[in-house]
Every structure is written in structure tokens, then in C-alpha cells.
Structure 1
Amino acid sequence: MARLRKRGETIRQFILDNVEHHPSDIVQIATEKFDVSRQAINKHIRQLIEQKTLIMSGQTKDRRYGLPPIKEVTKTFPLDNTLQEDVVWRNEISVLLPGFPDNVIEVWNHCFTEILNNAIDHSSGQMVTIGFKRNAVSTEIHILDDGEGIFKKIQREMGLLDERHAVLELSKGKLTTDPSRHTGEGIFFSSRMVDDFEILSGGVFFSHKHTEESDWILERYQPGKGTGVYMKMKNNSSRSVKKIFDAYTTSEDYGFNKTIVPVRLAQYGNEMLVSRSQAKRLLSRIDRFKTVILDFKGVDSIGQAFADEIFRVFAMKNKDINLLHVNASREVEQMIMRALLKAD
């Protein structure tokens, strides 16, 4: 009996831990995980609903499950010189995280204050709205301003081609439009500390998910005003500020000297990465790092000129940079090796 009770607790905890990512197919996921019938899983789901730790919406095929919020707050503040991110954190947000592990509170403190400070210093907006939602498994924080828009501002001040190009530059790190007051590290590190990090601004949606370890963008058809940042993290996460900083710094000087560049962000739609101009855009500003890892995930092929510009021309001019690549397909790897052989 005790063994059956423990197994039931394990199944119910699995449902709670995974329902946010599988709201419509959690029954199937749990059935396959524990090799039991759908009726057995539905019994556990009914129990969770009765305990008010799970909610259900829709009928039959459209049925979805989710976690009810324990605490949900939305507040709006004027974006003027009286707004201070540490004060908002201390008075409005930290008090909503009772009993959280120290490492989780530290991550939220870092990410919240960094993103709110960006809105205060850079958005040129009038108001900022902060949304907070916590359930039994995870916490979400939204920060939305009514300013110019982060990607549009980066594009304008750096003279970039468009907002998509701004996303590519932002993903590398060390990007700021106000170097006298900012290092350009805030968004880069914040996006890697939480489980889900998203920016919606203008016509572009940018996302970095911890589970995927990659950056990607989508274009919207109806551009909105301002910048919306969405962050989400499990309440029992083992991630810490130190772990993330250590992953991108060197032991010699503890500087932010390592970056991972998602190569597919250099693509526009279904175009091929074939030209030297595309390669130069990808390589822009990476001479600020000692180690650069080019992530070719999602890139099926590249052209000879694109590969040559990166792995022969740039590499020969920047021998002090450790240029690496990962997740290359067989075709991409062959083109890279061809360029490397020419460099020798």
C-alpha cells in the first residue's frame, strides 16, 4: 500500500512539473512515462483538480490543464527620475517570494532589476507595467514599457539594417546604446539565468529558452508599441547567478570574454547563408571576446564564401580569438573544413 501511495505521489508531481509545457497532452505524456492507462492518469488529474492544485478548461479534444496562480499582481509606475529598480524589487517583488531558495531569489533580483533599469534608462517611455504570477511550480514576471522599442532603438543608434539585425547583435552580448552607464551585459546574462526569456518589441519576438539553449526570432504581422519582457523560472531551480557568470567568463581575469552566437539569427526567412556580407554581419563585434562559439543549430548548409570569410579570412586576422563551432550538420562541417584547410 505504501509503495502504491508513493507511486501515486510521483505521478501527480510529474503532472504538476510538466503540465505548463504540455497543457493539452499531459495525459498522453504521463501515460507513456509511467506505462499506465489513460484512465489511471485521469484519476490522478481529478484528484489534483479536487485539491485545487490543477485547473481544467475546454471540452474533450480542446481540453487543457494548467496550474492555478497562488499570487498574481499587476502594477503600473511612471517612468520618471523617481523610479528606482532596487526599491521596486524590495517593496513590490521580493515580498512575493516567501520561502524561496536563496539562489532563486538572487537570480530574480538580478534579472528583475536589470530589465527594469533598462526600461528606466533606455525606453524613453512614460509608463511601465509590471506583472507577477506565481503558482506551485514556477514564477513569471512581465515588464512592459510604452517607449520606442528596444530593437528599433538599437537599429537606429547602431545604423543596422533592420530590427532582426538588432536581435543578432543583442544575442552576442556586450551591446549597449549608452556605454557610459551600461556594459551591455544585462539582457545577455538575464536571458540565460531564467528558464524562459522573451522580448516582444515592434515587429519582432525574441526568445531564449533554457531547455533549448538557443535563441530564435519570429516576426509579427501587427507591430506593437514599446518593449515587453517576459521571464519565467521554476521555484526550485538549482540555477544561480554565479553558475551563469562562470559559464561565460575566464578564470584569468573574470571578464565576460566568452559568447555563443546563434548563426541562424543571421538568416532572413529561408535565405541561404552564402555571402561574405552575411558572414561579416555575423562576425560584427565578436572581436570583443576571447572565445567565440558559433552555434549552427538549425542551419542546414552554408556557402563557400560565407565559410571562407569566417574560418579563413577572419580567423587569420584574429589569431588571438578562439573561434569554435558546434551543432554543425555534415554539409556545414564539410564547408568549414574546406575553409580551414585553405587557411593552413
Structure 2
Amino acid sequence: MTRVQVRGEAVRRFILECVEKHPADITSITAEKFNISRQAVNKHLQKLIGEGVLNQSGNTRSRRYQLTPLIDWRKLYSLAEILEEDRIWREDIAILIGQAPQNILDIWHYGFTEMFNNVIDHSEGTWVSINLNKTAVATEIAIYDNGVGIFKKIQMALDLMDERHAVLELAKGKLTTDPARHTGEGIFFASRMFDHFGVMSGGVYFSHRFDDKEDWIMEREQFSSGTSVWMKLNNDTTRTTKKVFDEFSSGNDYGFTKTVVPVKLAQYGDEHLVSRSQAKRLLSRIDRFETVLFDFHGVESIGQSFADEIFRVFAEQHPTMKLLGIKANSAVKKMINRARSNLDL
């Protein structure tokens, strides 16, 4: 392949990867990125359209581009039937994903079977729907059911304050309402394997994006009952299930020993994290891990009592655990260091 061909491939790959975020100005962005004319970019756009992976709409001034769905498939399953996630994977989903590198198939196999099994065992619904959409860049699977709702079920099972609190517990990992049949690891690991992973139930939406490694929670008006799960993965990712497991596991048995606690999820609205009660809510069940990373991204400040409860009181009660604060600003670091300085005094 010549240098011109390699550069052309790079230009077209950039267009495909960026067109979702820039459907109206992809021409100017690409021209600036590669220092080429708009006419040259247009030739690449027309090539992609001719290959059937991109389409356009609108006239010259309002023209927009978007990825062409190569596969747009959906199917409704009755939960009154005997469903097995591995059979649904093998007979329906794997065929649609098609030929792909083994690491990608492994991620999809793990994520889909874990999420579909959750519906079978936990949803208490009457039906489940699967939507699969594939473009030249990424594949997305959405699973919807009309059951009781995952956050509501966790809230009731653990007697939590509300569904938002259930999201916080879910984000930590090792949470299940059926410990006899489940380890509570599926959602935690799946959320970290995909480029975008989201769960919506009731009026609460939980999201994790791989590129910024952040957990987000939003509250919305409730439109329907049940649970919706979204998983999106780039078709060319080099990520592996082993790499994700290794990040949070230890030993030959891959014990789930490390977790990340998104501290921001403990905040309600504009409230500040100042009390011991708030800290205790954050600390719930983390004694199941050996190492806990408290992620303070998006947290502007914490109070002395909040910091003391985590980094002195709890630390003294659990001397073998590693409690680490990450992504903390200077104000938060100051409070953490103050609490730690009082250890053993």
C-alpha cells in the first residue's frame, strides 16, 4: 500500500470515527485535521457513501452525514418460555456479530450472556426485547424487559434509601439479590469492558464510559417499568476480557479483590459530602475487597467528619485493607491527609 493509500485510509477512518459527534461539520473538521481541502474530504465522503457505510441527507448548506446501519435487528422473547442465554447467544447474537477478532467475541459473549441471564433470573417480567445495531465503526446491543426494575429490586432487597443508593451499591460490585446463584460481578465487569455501558430503570440512569473511566448517574422522568441495558463496543478494539479481569483481580483464581467507588454517586443534587452518615453509606460492603479506590472526580470538597470516617475510623477497623483516594483536587486531598494524620494518635 502506497503512502497516499495509507493516508486515504486514515482520513476515511477518522471520518467514520468522528461523524456521529460531528454530522454537520465533519467536512471542515477533517480538512483541518489532515490539512487538506474540503473538496478532497468530499471525495473521501463520496467513497464511503459508495461503499454503503455512510449516508447523507439535506442540501448543500444543511447536509448531514451519518453511519449506515449494516445490521438493524430486533426480536421479542417471551419470558414464559424456557430461555437459556447461551443458546440465544449462539443461535441469534453471535451470528449477527459475525466474523470478528476473538477478543471482541469474548467481550460480547461475556456481556450479553451476563445481562440476558439477569433478565431471566431477576426481572420478574413477561417479555424481553433485544435490539442489535451494527455500523462500520461499532456494534450496539440493547436489552429491554418489562419487569420490576433492577434498581427498585436492589433497593427493596437491601432496604436502601432509594433507587439512587442502589446504583451506588451496584457500581461497587459484588452485589446480588440472589447470592445462591449469582456472584454480583457481572454488571461491574461488563460495564468496564465496553466503550459505553448504560442501565436505565425507573427514573434513574447509570452510565460508564471506557474512554473517561467515569461512572455517571442521572435522574429522569420515569417513562416505563422494567430495565434497559445498553452495551456499545468499537469493532476494532484491542481490549480483552483478561485485561479487565486482571485490573480488578488477584491470584491464580482471579479473585475479585479490587474495586473503584465513584464518590460522586453518593451526592444528592448540590449537597456537600460532610457527614459520617454519608461516609458510612459509601463504605457499605466495601470490606469484601482488599483494595478500594475512592474516585473523587467531580467532587469539589468533603467535610472533616466525612473524611475522618473513611480514612481514619474505617481504616483503623480494617488495617489490612488498602484505602486509596484518586482523582482528588487539592481541597479533598487536604482533608484526606488530615484524617490519615490522626491514625494511631
What TM-score comes out, normalization by structure 1 length? Answer: 0.95
Whole-Å Cα distance in 2 between the matches of residues 60 and 30 of structure 1?
Answer: 17
Residue in 1 aligned with 2:295?
295
List per-residue Cα deviations over 1:200-244 (Å, max 9, x = no partner): 110011101111101001111234210000101011211111111
Residue in 1 aligned with 2:36?
36
> Helix, strand or coil: the match of 1:175?
coil
Whole-Å Cα distance in 1 between the matches of residues 26 and 263 of structure 2?
Answer: 33
Whole-Å Cα distance in 2 between the matches of residues 86 and 67 of structure 1?
Answer: 30
Residue in 2 aligned with 1:259?
259
Whole-Å Cα distance in 2 between the matches of residues 292 and 66 of structure 1?
Answer: 41
Residue in 2 aligned with 1:324?
324
Pairwise CA distance, 1:26? 3.0
Whole-Å Cα distance in 1 between the matches of residues 199 and 63 of structure 2?
Answer: 29
Contact conserved, 1:197 with 1:208, CA < 8 A, in 2?
A: yes
Pairwise CA distance, 1:152? 0.7
> Helix, strand or coil: the match of 1:324?
strand
One-letter amino acid of the structure 1 residue matched with residue 142 of structure 2: H
Does the alignment pair 1:141 with 2:141? Answer: yes
Pairwise CA distance, 1:9? 2.3
From the superposition, tell whether residues 23 and 313 of structure 1 become closer, same or farther in structure 2 (CA, over 3 Å): farther
Pairwise CA distance, 1:15? 0.9
> Helix, strand or coil: the match of 2:199?
strand
Pairwise CA distance, 1:58? 4.8
Residue in 2 aligned with 1:193?
193
Q: Which runs of no fewer than 5 residues in structure 2 stay unpaired?
A: none
From the superposition, tell whether residues 123 and 63 of structure 1 become closer, same or farther in structure 2 (CA, over 3 Å): farther
Whole-Å Cα distance in 1 between the matches of residues 28 and 228 of structure 2?
Answer: 34
Residue in 2 aligned with 1:311?
311
Calculate percent identity across the aligned residue pairs: 56
Whole-Å Cα distance in 1 between the matches of residues 243 and 256 of structure 2?
Answer: 13
> Helix, strand or coil: the match of 2:239?
coil
From the superposition, tell whether residues 148 and 72 of structure 1 become closer, same or farther in structure 2 (CA, over 3 Å): same
Whole-Å Cα distance in 1 between the matches of residues 125 and 298 of structure 2?
Answer: 36
One-letter amino acid of the structure 1 residue matched with residue 320 of structure 2: D
Task: Report which stretch shifted further, 281-290 or 29-38.
Answer: 29-38
> Helix, strand or coil: the match of 2:218?
strand
- Divergent runs of 4+, >4 A: 58-63
Pairwise CA distance, 1:4? 3.4
Does the alignment pair 1:276 with 2:276? Answer: yes
From the superposition, tell whether residues 331 and 57 of structure 1 become closer, same or farther in structure 2 (CA, over 3 Å): farther
From the superposition, tell whether residues 281 and 74 of structure 1 become closer, same or farther in structure 2 (CA, over 3 Å): same
Whole-Å Cα distance in 2 between the matches of residues 60 and 166 of structure 1?
Answer: 49
Q: Which runs of no fewer than 5 residues in structure 1 stay unpaired?
A: none
Pairwise CA distance, 1:45? 2.0
Contact conserved, 2:131 with 2:141, CA < 8 A, in 1?
A: yes
> Helix, strand or coil: the match of 1:143?
strand
One-letter amino acid of the structure 2 residue matched with residue 331 of structure 1: A
Residue in 2 aligned with 1:26?
26
Residue in 2 aligned with 1:80?
80
List per-residue Cα deviations over 1:295-316 (Å, max 9, x = no partner): 1111111111111111111111
From the superposition, tell whether residues 98 and 303 of structure 1 become closer, same or farther in structure 2 (CA, over 3 Å): same
What TM-score comes out, normalization by structure 2 length? Answer: 0.95
> Helix, strand or coil: the match of 1:211?
coil
Whole-Å Cα distance in 2 between the matches of residues 250 and 278 of structure 1?
Answer: 30
Task: Report which stretch shifted further, 226-235 or 49-58.
Answer: 49-58
Pairwise CA distance, 1:157? 1.0
From the superposition, tell whether residues 70 and 166 of structure 1 become closer, same or farther in structure 2 (CA, over 3 Å): same
From the superposition, tell whether residues 218 and 246 of structure 1 become closer, same or farther in structure 2 (CA, over 3 Å): same
> Helix, strand or coil: the match of 2:256?
coil
> Helix, strand or coil: the match of 2:82?
coil
One-letter amino acid of the structure 1 residue matched with residue 16 of structure 2: L
Whole-Å Cα distance in 2 between the matches of residues 59 and 151 of structure 1?
Answer: 45
> Helix, strand or coil: the match of 1:236?
coil
Residue in 1 aligned with 2:159?
159
From the superposition, tell whether residues 315 and 252 of structure 1 become closer, same or farther in structure 2 (CA, over 3 Å): farther
Pairwise CA distance, 1:98? 2.1
Whole-Å Cα distance in 2 between the matches of residues 92 and 303 of structure 1?
Answer: 52
Name the Cα RMSD after superposition: 1.8
Whole-Å Cα distance in 2 between the matches of residues 139 and 307 of structure 1?
Answer: 42
Contact conserved, 1:274 with 1:304, CA < 8 A, in 2?
A: yes
Length, aligned pairs only: 344
Whole-Å Cα distance in 1 between the matches of residues 85 and 77 of structure 2?
Answer: 11
